[in-house]
Amino acid sequence: MATETERKFLVTDNSYRQLAHAHRYITQGYISRRKEGTVRVRIADKRAYLTVKGVTRGISRDEWEFDIPADDARAMLDRVCEGNIIEKTRYLVNWDGLVWEVDEFISPVKMTVAEVELPADLADAELPLPPFVGREVSHDPAYFNSNL
């Protein structure tokens, strides 16, 4: 088990596209979206994952992630996911020693958010923010993928 410590921000412009060193198309859905934890299935390009995330405490939560066959992931997305299927393009941007993930949501909503995973010792640290980063929404459940 790993612990995910993540901060999330709104994006103010599309300069991240020029700064990105990679991008990938992602489709994901939720098998469970309980407040005690979520179970997500995701296909990112040709790889697929099943991810279980525990209760969020501050900006951290337990996380278990497993590679699964892409055909199984497609079947889960079609047959057992509840709510909306999320489609997005994720851009990866290196900034001051951290990798920022900028998600352009295609469906079910159109919005762009940037998130950065941090080592636990940097959870409360002042971060040097990339130029495309705006207001922080780490604690706003409206921006959790599982609530879209």
Which residues form the catalytic set? 30
DSSP label of 57: B
- Which residues does 39 contact at the CB level (< 8 Å), separation at least 6? 30, 31, 32, 50, 51, 52
Q: Is 117 exposed, middle or buried (0-12, 13-18, 19+ CB in 10 A)?
A: middle
Query: Strand pairing partners for 38?
Result: 33, 53
